[in-house]
Amino acid sequence: MPDKTRLLAQIENAAECITPFWPLKTFIATNPLSGFEHMPFEDAIEKGSALFGGNGLPTRAMGQKAMEDGKIDPVILKNILEEAAGKDEAVHLYNEMTSGLIENQKGSSTKLSKLNALMIKYLAAFLDEGQSGWQMPGREQGFYKAWKNLVKKDDQISNKALLETLPDNALDTLFSLLENVDDKNRENFLERHLAALPGWSGFVKWRARQHDYPWQKQYPVSLTDYLAVRLSMVNMISDDGLSTSMTKTDKEGLYWLKAWEETYRTQLSDQLKQTWNNDAPPSRPEAQFVFCIDVRSEVFRRNLEKTGHYDTYGFAGFFGVALRHTEFGEDIAADSCPVLLSPQFESTDQPCCGHEDKAQQHLYGKKTAKGFKNTLQKLKQDIAAPFATVEATGALFGLGMAARTFSPSSLKKISRSFKTLLIPNVDLEPTTSKTNDSALGLSLSERIFHAEAALKIMGLTKNFAPFVFLTGHGSETENNPYAAGLDCGACGGNHGGPNARLMAAVFNDPAVREGLIKRGITIPEDTLFIGALHNTTTDEVVILDRRDIPEKITKDLQVARKSANLERCKQFSTKHSPQTRASDWAEVRPEWGLARNAAFIIGPRSMTQSIDLEGRTFLHSYDHESDSDGKALQIIMTAPMVVAEWINTQYYFSSVDNAVYGSGSKTTHNVVGKIGVMQGNASDLMTGLPLQSVMHADGQLYHEPLRLMTIVKAPLSRVSKLIAENDILQTLFDNGWVALTVIDPESGKFMRYQGHKVWHDIDDKQTSGADIPIVKKNDKELEPA
């Protein structure tokens, strides 16, 4: 038995190579190479190439196009080549890189092997979450046993003699199948089998850990099951399904990447050198708006700030409360918090006082609509009924399809009006259920704790405006399996509205305000917090709490919406309005999402307010003066920045190799089991972003594949100490997954982190020169304070 527990650990270790994959409805951005983040970036992409066959660097064609578009400075590229290869060789390299293309320099695709096709068949059937009309039998016994029962009847497998000898327990089976594999080679062996279909095994890895997930509770699956089934079938059909294809990585891609990054980073640093010390006007603003750190917020914030004396802040869009939220009249709850956290509170909506009758109508309408949908679904999946259904209702649905195609916006308006008739809108307020000693369900000390933490982390501790809007965000899109990918990453792929409303109610609580005064934060009596929601597709801001809001603010939000719309429309090649994009069922690109993200700026808004950051930066508000112990900065760098790195790497890898690390073109996507998409009728689960999310067209990048650069305005000693104390920061910075520049407020110096405790002043070199990791003589090494 100790050998079997040893095997459990070997499976756990082997599974580190695959990234957990969340189901589509809570699409979470992840780094496809997250298992190799403990390695230097260059080594990780080599490993990714060996295991998955992916290309982890920009190709020559991408580099040349970027240079043609002015996104790579030739001088910077030349400097990088000189530093790396010497002056003479650099000239040769430069000429080679900038003339002519390399043929077929992209990820290779391989034909699906028989074993992988079989695995996909069984996994798709077992993991189905309500899409199929005919369920796999015996799923409640778990994946291994369900497979074992069913495979007996599988005509695709002729040799079933092995089945008789297999134990009933997956771990025992796997143990016996691995008897001939030497102990020291086991992890590598298992790693290769898990990496053969990283999407499917990634989904199993995710689901196996979700003990409260209804599908997992009912139909359990584990990686031990997965491997036991796979290795059993390897023996039965004599095919190991392992591909030997490997994309060659070379230094050239790295040179392109560094030059591309350096061009952007130099420009941004140069801009910030002019503005980093700007102060916010001391007068009281008309209103303050707290937005999510998401790069899309920056465009709206900049346009809103132009309309009046408004201060805007950036904070993780879950506003510090990790919720499991159930919408009014729904059965299924969603975790509205970053996946780094477990939900701490369960919340739901309840009708506001005086809306009880309307709430009943709302529930009744919702139930009727659900019943109608279910009946239609059953009729569609029945053996005989579809013929009669189509006869009776086909014309009506045909008209609907025509309207959705030719006039999506009008149809949406009509269906909205119809929906409101059937399910009347009702005023709701959020409530949590962890404790019952207050109106909000959170105990007073919890409410004060969350309020204080949120304000201190974003540096909003004084000069409160009469109105403070906590603005969550969500997208609006039709017929889009990737809809959750456009929603709030800090809310686990959900809309951030419930969190915004709940925290607004916490801040408005007189007892909380009294508690905050004792902690040194005084919120004036006339300050009102209001929950709101920013629609990132249409830039509409909806006020969620029914309050009297000055007309000027409502109008200014409209003005900001129009100018943000105009700005975003320039990025599309077609002239559809954002409203049409949001309602068109054939729209493959309702918005650009977080494409082109490249930097994460931690500091007060005053340091960036005068710069057009082009929606490329995550902005987290931070005031180093009100965080003397560095706790707030620690939270920002160990959580929001980590999530930003996941997003950034997902966009990066989906761009450099869309076939392997992305999910290919949407036009050939098939949704499977309601959990993910496959290309065609059988493929690995496609875990990255679709081609349409990162490219204008095949081969024409929209997203610029650059690794994230974090810029922090804080004392250098504080940041240095944080890196020394948090190994997650060492992993990301020392291995080159995220670059770091600290703007030290005392000296005014821009200090670039070179990794492993080495810093260097970016002004200690030619301004146009490259900053590749070479330690200069005047670098100083800082010991943790």
Partner 1 sequence: MSVVFHDIQKIEIIVKGEKLDFVQNLMQQAGAQGHTVIRDISGMGDHGFHEGRLLFNDQSSLIMLVAVAKPDVIEKIAAGLVPLFEKNSGVMFVSDAKVARLEKFL
Which parts of this chain interact with partner 1 (CB under 8 A)? Answer: 1-6, 8-10, 12-13, 16, 171, 187, 209, 316, 320, 338, 340-342, 453, 634-635, 638-640, 642, 724-728, 730, 784
Q: Given the complex with partner 1, which of 609 and 730 has the nearer CB atom?
A: 730
Give the total residue count for the chain: 785
Which residue's structure tokens are 């209001």? 530
Cβ 291 to partner 1, closest distance in Å? 17
Q: Name 289's bridge partners.
A: 312, 469
Q: Given the complex with partner 1, which of 8 and 237 has the nearer CB atom?
A: 8
Three-state SS for 151-169 is HCCCCCCCCCHHHHHCCCC
Does residue 688 contact residue 662 with C-beta atoms inside 8 Å? yes
**Separation of alpha carbons 273 and 768, rounded Å:** 15
Cβ 222 to partner 1, closest distance in Å? 9
CA-nearest of 344, 325, 352 to 336 is 325
Cβ 457 to partner 1, closest distance in Å? 8
CA-nearest of 397, 774, 330 to 585 is 397
Q: Name 741's bridge partners.
A: 711, 752
Cβ 553 to partner 1, closest distance in Å? 30
Q: Given the complex with partner 1, which of 96 and 183 has the nearer CB atom?
A: 183
Q: Given the complex with partner 1, which of 207 and 473 has the nearer CB atom?
A: 207
Q: Name 711's bridge partners.
A: 601, 741
Q: Given the complex with partner 1, which of 122 and 600 has the nearer CB atom?
A: 600
Which letter, b or e, does each residue of 276-313 get, where b requires 16 or more Cβ atoms within 10 Å of its Cβ?
Answer: beeeeeeeebbbbbbbbbbbbbbbbbbbbbebeebbbb
Cβ 351 to partner 1, closest distance in Å? 32
Does residue 25 contact residue 333 with C-beta atoms inside 8 Å? no
Cβ 716 to partner 1, closest distance in Å? 18
Q: Given the complex with partner 1, which of 233 and 632 has the nearer CB atom?
A: 632
Cβ 4 to partner 1, closest distance in Å? 7
DSSP element (H, E) containing 188: helix 186-195
Cβ 354 to partner 1, closest distance in Å? 37
Does residue 625 contact residue 703 with C-beta atoms inside 8 Å? no
- Helices marked H in 196-343: 198-208, 214-218, 223-237, 251-275, 295-305
Q: Name 755's bridge partners.
A: 758
Q: For the chain, first and last CA: distance in Å?
A: 48
Q: Enumerate helices (H) and strands (E) in the chain, giving the number of each.
A: 28, 20
Q: Given the complex with partner 1, which of 206 and 467 has the nearer CB atom?
A: 206
Distances in whole angstroms, Cα of residue 444 to Cα of each of 324, 451, 509, 609: 20, 11, 10, 36
Does residue 506 contact residue 441 with C-beta atoms inside 8 Å? no
- Helices marked H in 423-519: 444-458, 497-508, 510-518
Q: Given the complex with partner 1, which of 317 and 715 has the nearer CB atom?
A: 317
Q: Given the complex with partner 1, which of 242 and 642 has the nearer CB atom?
A: 642
**Separation of alpha carbons 175 and 2, rounded Å:** 12
Contacts of 526 (CB under 8 A, 6+ apart): 466
Phi then psi dihedrals of residue 674, to 5 deg: 65, 15
Cβ 316 to partner 1, closest distance in Å? 7
Distances in whole angstroms, Cα of residue 289 to Cα of each of 119, 314, 317, 406, 551: 50, 9, 12, 38, 16
Contacts of 50 (CB under 8 A, 6+ apart): 246
Q: 248: which DSSP letter?
A: P
Cβ 506 to partner 1, closest distance in Å? 16
Cβ 181 to partner 1, closest distance in Å? 14
Cβ 271 to partner 1, closest distance in Å? 29
Q: Given the complex with partner 1, which of 12 and 69 has the nearer CB atom?
A: 12
Q: Given the complex with partner 1, which of 230 and 620 has the nearer CB atom?
A: 620
Cβ 328 to partner 1, closest distance in Å? 27
Please count the CA atoms within 13 angstroms of the CA of 290 that sit on its side-chain side: 32
How big is the CA angle at 339 (ends 536 and 43), to the nearest 5 degrees?
100
Q: How far is CA 685 from its chain centroid?
A: 17
Q: Given the complex with partner 1, which of 5 and 238 has the nearer CB atom?
A: 5
Q: Given the complex with partner 1, which of 172 and 427 has the nearer CB atom?
A: 172
